[in-house]
Structure 1
Amino acid sequence: MALPSKPAPTFDRNFLIELGGGILFRQAEKLFEAHAVESAEWESPVLKGLVDGGDAVYTPELNLRSTVFAESSCSCLDGRRRKVCVHVLATALHYQALKEEAKHAKVAEALAATPEPKPAPAPEKAPKLPRVRSIKLGADGLLLRVLIFLPPNLEEAAGRGAIVLKLDAAAGREILPLNKLNPRQKYKVAPQQVAVLKLVESWCGGKLSSLLQLTGAQLRQLLDAVRGESIVYWVKKPNAPIDWVGGTLPGVHEFLGEPELAKPEQPEPEPVTLDPKPEPVKKRSFPANISLREKSKPNLRRIAESKGAKLWQARKADYPVASEAAASMENFSHKSVVVDGSPHYLAIRLPSGDTASVQPLRTLLKAEGFMLEPSNRKWWLRDRHKVLNFLAGHWKALERDWQAEFTDNFKSKLQAVEVSALRVEAKEDGGKFALEVSLSQSTDEMELRRALASGKNYVEAEGGAITLLDRTSVEQLHQLERSVSGQADRPFTPTFSKRLETQDLIDVEDLLDELCEGWQPPQAWQSRSRALKEVGALEAAPIRPGFDAILRTYQRIGVAWFWHLYRHQLGGILADEMGLGKTLQALALIECIVTQGSGPSGGKPAAKRPALVVCPASLVENWLRETARFTPNLKTHKHHGPKRAKEPVVLEEYDLIITSYGTLRQDAELLGTMDWCVVIGDEAQHIKNRRSQNAKTLTSLHADGRFLLTGTPVENSLDDLLSLFSFLMPGYLQKPAGKMSQDDKAWHNKRQAERAAAYILRRTKKEVAPELPDKIEKTFFCELGNKQQRFYQDTLEKTRRDIFNLEMSGANAGRVQFAAFTELLRLRQACVDPRILDEEFPAKDSAKLAAFDEVLDECLDAGSRILVFSSFVTALQLLAEHLEQKGHKFCYLDGKTKNRLAICDQFNEDESIPVFLISLKAGGTGLNLTGADTVVHYDPWWNPAAEAQATDRAHRIGQTKVVTSIKLIAANTVEEKVLELQAKKAEILQELFDESKAANAKVNLDDIKNLLK
């Protein structure tokens, strides 16, 4: 294929993972490696391809007018719904490979100019081999290639005549041992590969084997069948096929001996006849109950004709169609299953030979009452009721699984018989959809009910029309009824109807996609549901350009997901892993809602109503700062603390209100009377108990949109999901009704979890790592509570007073400066944990301890492991006591620890230990702790180099995960002021907070006073 003249993007790994996700990319790689892509062409801005998917040929297209929201289409099911599918990614991989090949065009031309050795002349007539019996072959089957692996001791093994080969099969997208192929699956195999399969069967008694011991001549024969194909490997180099050179494999063929000379072809012997002087005789037809042996013996022909005539006369009256069955089957191959009959009887002939492959069918026929007549080797069923029941249950299976051939007689006699199949109809009605599903449109429902109640799998109507109740369609309908109704014990009915809410569409669509092949929902249905099934199909949210430039691609998709749900009056949970910017995505949504000025589905303008964010008290300050940084145009108000508003009219003047769960409980009446454009609950684990006051109050709020944020997976229990969805979409998930069996209860819980999954968006660092830095740094602002704030202010006033008194007493500058250092240290300790200074201070009032618990819970649920650094040993000891009380395992290291390396090894090797507490001086250097992927700086290290050095205990060679570094900062304290000055006066701060140099630090006293303002 000629490469396009117009520039095309580079379809590298990062680009394609960003486009379709890691799981889809790995599937596309397998499809590409299986040589399934037939062509790939770039016509700017569209990439087009042709892909052999095994079951069909697909035509993917990728329009890259917008690199963020690419438009994808394909003839596959996902592609028809505008999802990015595996065929699109495989086409992109193929196109990129073609570009790489083009770079070496000169080399390719030089090689093309080199004359290739002439192939050895083929024999005039290839030796005939038996057909492949172990598997089914067909042009519409799954693509199959045989892979040959040679032993490393080939030379020695060839000398002994005992070369052991390993044979694998690349079937579709998986590689498995050759003897593990599914005998019922149909495979598409190239002619050379067919020859390999035939040879293996001929050497293994008609079966396929994954291990073979061959002579040199046999191996040569096998390799000749696949000459030129890159499917031969050394067993120790499974990723690099051996290159063919001049029709041979270097290092292989020279050990196999000379090829045997072809023996002269012998004339085929004349057919042997039993009569020494055969005379032309009139061709006779023999009755079905006469064996082949009787037919073949001339001296018994007369007896056979006489015997057959009598037996046939006796049967003809009872079964007038049997003669037609015997005659109509003679024209079919003896290598296939042949079915003949009518509504009154069935005659099935099984393939001759290869008894093992048809044993399951033979067992089925016996179980269904068929009798084998040895005289004609056919299985007969002569009972109308049994025949119709059998056809209802197994007609489709005979076609699909056994590739049975049906006689013209059978087709003629059963042409008026209808086989039931699910019939689905969905009509839009007032913004909702009425779903109707039935088994048959031509059969009365009461007749269907009576037939099923009596054990009949068919219905006979007046006039002779017959409807077979296919067991698969009956089971599918019952499964659909249970799933859509949510009733595990729901009785089966032949018809089912339900009025669907918007939130039900995606769930029901998934069920129908699985059960009803080819079913397509109406366009209005698709527009509401398809974006939830594949975030790549989402339309971009109207994000402000300046804000959009800040967002990463996966964050834009998260905002588009939020926006889609909001516009369709749905709720959702953003459950991205910690450090991926959930707050940022939520703020982008709020700004979109406020600036667009319209409610969901074109309702009342949303700009007249503020948005509400509810979060833990320790995160209120963090939300305020993130809002000021990223959405400065929003009028934001903190409704928290003693000076909060008392009347709704005050809050209605703002675009965004931020409050805590505690304040929400206290001001439930005030906040509950307001109308909100959207309510967002941060750290959703705070409402996982639906009986808690947090959950009840949050659920009672009036809002157009409802969303939750959490880095904690929410699938822990059905009760958790019920609580979360009681807020998001009341009534969508249901509690188990009444008494249920264990099986029914398990089914119900699983079903509810499946329904919830569509409204939970979770991305991990591993999934988005290609576009993220390998180290994420995050600052976490903690707002001091009233009690700790008073404690800090008292300490600050004492510090100022002591410095002033020293100066007034005439103390020298060195003494004043040393005292200032000491008091500044006390202020830092008051920020970290007041219990360092006052043992009686309540632990529950420590802001950093509360923030640490939030981080810890999220990390534990995400499977992350944490290093916690502090410059205060007392703070680490208090954390150790806290972890013991909560029952968490941890490691501990400070200056008194003797066996440092042993403790580090224990943490790295024992993944059941989630936390490692480390002091600044003892663990800042010299440790390798790649077992962790999260670093928490409990109190800030004012020297940026020292802080980075601590983080690098986890982020270093050997680390395979993205490392998240979290800095806990007490808001509106000396910690925050020093953080602001860190970049400007790094050299001053380094001296200022290195306690070992405090007495000699060359820091101006005015710098210290500025920090204390």
Structure 2
Amino acid sequence: MPSTATAPRRNKSRRDDDAPLIPILARKVREIEAKAQRGKLGPTNRVKFQVIAFLVREERARVKVDDALADGARAELLKRLDGVATILAKTAARDTSLIQLLEVDQATSPVAKRMRRDWLLESGAELAPEELIIADIAPVQAPVVPAALAERQVTPPAVESRMMANPFLAPDLTPRPAETPRRRLDGWELMGPLYKAFETGAGGGAATMELPPLPEADHISPKGLEIMVHQSRLLEAVRAGHRSLLLADEPGLGKTAQSVLAASVADAYPLLVVVPNVVKMNWAREVERWTPQRRATVIQGDGDDIDAFADVFIVNYEILDRHLSWLGAIGLRGMVVDEAHFIKNLTSQRSQNVLALGQRVRETTPGGRPLLMALTGTPLINDVEDFDAIWRFLGWTNGEKPSAELMAKLDATGFTPADKAFYPEARDAVISMGIVRRKKVDVAADLPDKLVADLPVQLDDEFGRGIRDAERELGERMAAKYRRIVEARGDRGQAASLAPGEIDDDIVRLVAHNELEESKAAGTGGDNVFTMVRRIGQAKASLAADYAVQLQRSVGKVVFFAKHIDVMDQAEAHFAAAGVTAVSLRGDQTSAARQQAIDDFNADPEVGIAVCSLTAAGVGVNLQAASNVVLAELSWTAAEQTQAIDRVHRIGQDEPVTAWRIIAAHTLDTKIAELIDRKQGLAARALDGEQIDDDETESVQLAALMHLLRQALGGE
């Protein structure tokens, strides 16, 4: 039987004796109003809104026909109920999606019924036995592919080949558990108390499950790589059998590597990784780096070019909807959702797609225990109920009640939500399901004091294709000049001694040097190395800005560096649309305006991002309130990049600094990043007095043009 224990009755004034439910409704509606004012109405608060509306109507009808009430008392009670109804109406006006809840005649879900029962018991009402025990509605299994998306489904030809090669999934012979016996907490509404346990920080302490000790040796990393202590301990938990994890480490602590290695430890293949578009290429690179024995494929568009026999399928949120059918049928054994706060809105199609696939993976994995990982540095954006979708994906709750495993942990506490001691115990129980949260300061001893992390992005739109076409045309233009020079020399000089297919480096350097001089004279006219890099920066702007927003929500303040004003303008517009307050440091500012922007960034907690010009803000600026830098565009010199990062990495900085370089894959951008890194190595060697190669003394612009020319000649 469910517990019917009630909270101790407070001393009430005489006017509450006739309607003890009204003060409870007044308190609850004020809670809803406060949440709505902060834009934090999650699923539980919406149910609470519905129950209040129903009880107001029910109580109004009771008061009107209660013959024991004097007319004055009845009028007073109706006035107070009108006050509650007025607040409901104002709240619904603020969030119009609530209006439909006001039109519902009664709250019928089990959660709403339990909430109504608990409030009535708190008011001292006597309920019939059938109102005390509330049975759950048998869940209706939603299809992986909603009817509205059925026509959009695609099946790449390569996937058909894979499924023909193995048309049957391995049978699941795992014995099914017997029906779960009724537990002491089965009759309680528990989702609200679970959210409250986290909202109040009940019990305190970091939200990290107990992890196994560090193993004696690293037997996981491939040769030449080594994982850090905090990464190794999480992987030991996976080795011990843990299969659902909310990994909420701060950016820069290697969540991607931990997930890739966790899949290897758990043998969770095929593995699906759902990510924002900006990090698709990085995920493929990390899979190759940490598990070279596994193959990854990135799904673009309709997936015509995917490797259907790959171990890891990487897809971005925006195109997942057209691949639901075959992904649900291919026999996935694991699923990782990167930047999992993207699914916090349960009404969005994006969230529903992810949850449906997660449920499908649980159903088709032998034993029902796939590897499910939600990665986010910001599991909470607006409200503690942002946990809802993530917990559902991981299988910890179904939105209305905890899973059998979590329910057993809660039941083992020996408390109910009527006990204060329940809340810290409940928080610990949820954390033990698999929440892991580490900050940079927690693992600072394992981190370098400054790290430059490359984030390759795919420019797969028309703009990106245009850039690659322009690069090829520039390379072919220089190649034509190279061939004319070789032909003009005939049998004279070094060209005469070249073997077929061999390239004359002196002529390559000469052609590239002439092209560079012409580019400098032309400025922004025509296609040259400078306009090419500018176009790449423009194409990357929104992707870089989007990543900066994700970082800001994870770690707080972020410094965003760009080279061109139009890229800065694009970024600032993106930040404003995302609701992130930003300041700008540009070359055309007065000294007073510039200093005010710096002070606002360092001192004002509402300012999340500083948008800085590489040339105007790269020196003489202190922005150490941040420890994360986004380099949206690459510099032409290693020194300029270092100067930018050192606006954050300076005396007084308490945390390791991470600089995220956004690099356009398969473009000149990749070569420029490589050249900048080489120049940094050159600077160190020069200071140490070591030998310097001639080609490393060339400018980055010249070296980049030589690369394009060699590529056009078939030499690279």
* Shorter-chain TM-score range: 0.5 to 0.7
| Counterpart position of 1:575 | 248
Give the equivalent residue in structure 2 for 1:992: 699
Query: Secondary structure of 2:607's match?
Result: coil
Contact 1:689 1:695 in 2 (8 A): yes
Partner of 1:874: 566
| 2:393 corresponds to | 727
| Residue 849 (structure 1) aligned with residue 519 (structure 2) | no
Map of 1:784 onto structure 2 = 459
CA contact (8 A) 1:538 1:561 kept: no
- CA distance 1:912–1:716, shift in 2 (3 Å): closer
User: Does 1 or 2 have the higher relative contact order (CA < 8 Å, sep 6+)?
Assistant: 2
Q: Would you say the 8 A contact 2:529–2:705 is kept in 1? A: no
Distance in 2, matches of 1:714 and 1:895, equals: 37
The equivalent of 1:913 in structure 2 is 607
User: How much does 1:660 deviate?
Assistant: 1.9
Structure 1 residues 819 and 500: CA distance shift in structure 2, 3 A: farther
Instruction: Output the CA distance in 2 between the equivalents of 1:871 and 1:489.
Output: 62
Specify the alignment match of 2:639 in structure 1.
945
Report whether the alignment pairs 1:706 with 2:706. no
CA distance in 1, matches of 2:422, 2:551: 28
Q: Distance in 2 between matches of 1:666 and 1:611?
A: 18
Pairing partner for 2:584 from 889, 892, 899: 892
Tell me the alpha carbon deviations over residues 822-877 of structure 1, each in whole angstroms, 9 at most, x when there is no partner. Answer: 6111221222114xxxxxxxxxxxx5412431332332343x21111222232112
Alpha carbons 1:894, 1:923 under 8 Å: kept: yes
TM-score normalised by the chain length of structure 1: 0.41
Q: Distance in 1 between matches of 2:383 and 2:597?
A: 35
Figure out how many residues of one structure are paired with residues of the other and give that number. Answer: 462
Q: CA offset at residue 645 of structure 1? A: 6.2
Q: How does 1:539-550 map to 2 (within 5 A)?
A: 543-544=219-220, 546=222, 550=226
Partner residue, 2:227: 551
Report how far residue 611 of structure 1 moved.
Answer: 1.4
TM alignment of 1:660-739, pairs within 5 A: 660-701=316-357, 702-703=360-361, 704-714=370-380, 716-729=382-395, 731-734=397-400
Counterpart residue type for residue 587 of structure 1: V
- Structure 1 pair 967–913 and aligned structure 2 pair: CA distance change class (3 A): same
CA positional deviation for 1:694: 2.0
Residues 546 and 574 of structure 2 are in contact (CA less than 8 Å); yes or no, is this contact kept in structure 1?
A: no
Q: Which amino acid aligns with 1:850?
A: L
Distance 1:660 1:894, change over 3 A: same
Q: Is it true that 1:819 corresponds to 2:511 in the alignment?
A: no
The question of whether the paired residues in 2 share the 8 Å contact of 1:779 and 1:968 is answered with yes
State whether structure 2 residue 304 is matched by structure 1 residue 644: yes
2:665 is aligned to 971
**1:535 counterpart SS class:** coil
Deviations 1:72-116 (A, max 9, x none): xxxxxxxxxxxxxxxxxxxxxxxxxxxxxxxxxxxxxxxxxxxxx
User: Is the alpha carbon distance of 1:721 and 1:643 closer, same or farther for their aligned partners in structure 2, counting shifts above 3 Å?
Assistant: closer
Q: Give, in whole Å, the separation in 1 of the partners of 2:326 and 2:218.
A: 32
RMSD: 4.5
Shift of 1:574: 0.3
Give a deviation string over 1:211-267, Cα, whole Å, max 9, x none.
xxxxxxxxxxxxxxxxxxxxxxxxxxxxxxxxxxxxxxxxxxxxxxxxxxxxxxxxx
Q: How far apart are the structure 2 equivalents of 1:640 and 1:578?
A: 26
Q: C-alpha distance in 1, partners of 2:575/2:295?
A: 40
The answer as to whether partners of 2:266 and 2:371 remain within 8 angstroms in 1 is: no
Q: How far apart, in 1, do the equivalents of 2:696 and 2:672 lie?
A: 8
Q: How does 1:450-599 map to 2 (within 5 A)?
A: 489-490=117-118, 499=182, 533-536=209-212, 543-544=219-220, 546=222, 550-564=226-240, 567=241, 570-594=243-267
Which residue of the partner structure matches residue 633 of structure 1?
293
How much does 1:916 deviate?
Answer: 1.3
- Give the C-alpha shift of residue 550 in structure 1: 0.9
Superposition map of 1:176-255 within 5 A? none
1:681 CA displacement: 0.9
Match of 2:626 in 1: 932
Structure with bigger helix share is: 2
Contact (CA 8 Å) 1:866, 1:936: kept in 2 or not? yes
2:270 corresponds to:
610
User: Per the alignment, in what secondary structure is the counterpart of residue 923 of structure 1?
Assistant: coil
How far 1:642 sits from its partner (Å)?
A: 4.8
Matches within 5 A, 1:122-137: none
1:724 CA drift (Å): 1.6
Q: Which residue of 2 aligns with 1:302?
A: none
> Structure 1 residues 715 and 796 mapped into 2: Cα distance closer, same or farther (>3 Å)?
closer
Give 1:768 shift: 1.4
Q: Is the 8 A contact 2:676 2:700 kept in 1?
A: no
Is contact 1:590-1:678 (8 Å) kept? Answer: yes
Displacement of 1:548 in angstroms is 10
Q: 1:290-312 deviations in whole A, cap 9, x for unaligned?
A: xxxxxxxxxxxxxxxxxxxxxxx
Structure 1 distance, partners of 2:698, 2:224, is 40
Contact preservation (8 Å) 2:628, 2:657: yes
* 2:312 aligned to which of 656, 660, 665: 656
Question: What residue number does 1:829 align with?
Answer: 534
Distance 1:641 1:728, change over 3 A: same
Return the alpha-carbon distance in structure 2 between the equivalents of residues 790 and 548 of structure 1: 36
Report the identity percentage.
25
- Judged with a 3 Å threshold, the aligned counterparts in structure 2 of structure 1 residues 881 and 983 are, in CA distance, closer, same or farther, namely closer
- Map 1:721-800 to 2 at 5 A: 721-729=387-395, 731-734=397-400, 756-758=430-432, 759-800=434-475
Task: Decide which structure has the larger Cα Rg and report it.
Answer: 1
Give the letter for the 2:597 counterpart. Answer: I
**Cα offset, 1:756, TM superposition:** 4.0
After superposition, the Cα gap between the structure-2 partners of 1:717 and 1:817, relative to the gap in structure 1 and judged at 3 Å, is closer
- 1:612 touches 1:658 (CA, 8 Å); kept in 2? yes
The answer as to whether partners of 1:548 and 1:556 remain within 8 angstroms in 2 is: no
**TM superposition score normalised by structure 2:** 0.56
How has the CA–CA distance of structure 1 residues 804 and 778 changed in structure 2, closer, same or farther, with 3 Å as cutoff?
A: closer
Question: Following the alignment from structure 2 to structure 1, what is the Cα–Cα distance between the partners of residues 208 and 605?
Answer: 35
> Match of 1:206?
none
Q: Aligned with 1:896: secondary structure? A: coil
Q: For residues 625 and 799 of structure 1, what CA distance do their matches in structure 2 show?
A: 28
Per the alignment, do residues 544 and 889 of structure 1 end up closer, same or farther by CA in structure 2, a change over 3 Å counting?
A: closer
Shift of 1:941: 2.5
1:582 shift after superposition: 0.2
Q: Secondary structure at the match of 1:790?
A: helix
Q: d(CA) in 2 for partners of 1:750 and 1:719?
A: 17
Query: Residues 816 and 848 of structure 1: is their aligned pair in 2 closer, same or farther, counting only changes over 3 Å?
Result: closer
Contact 2:274-2:337 within 8 A present in 1 as well: yes
1:172-205 Cα shifts (integer Å, max 9, x gaps): xxxxxxxxxxxxxxxxxxxxxxxxxxxxxxxxxx
Find the counterpart in structure 2 of residue 218 from structure 1: none
For structure 2, the residue ranges without an aligned partner over 5 or more in a row are: 1-109, 123-128, 134-179, 185-189, 198-206, 362-369, 403-416, 489-509, 683-694
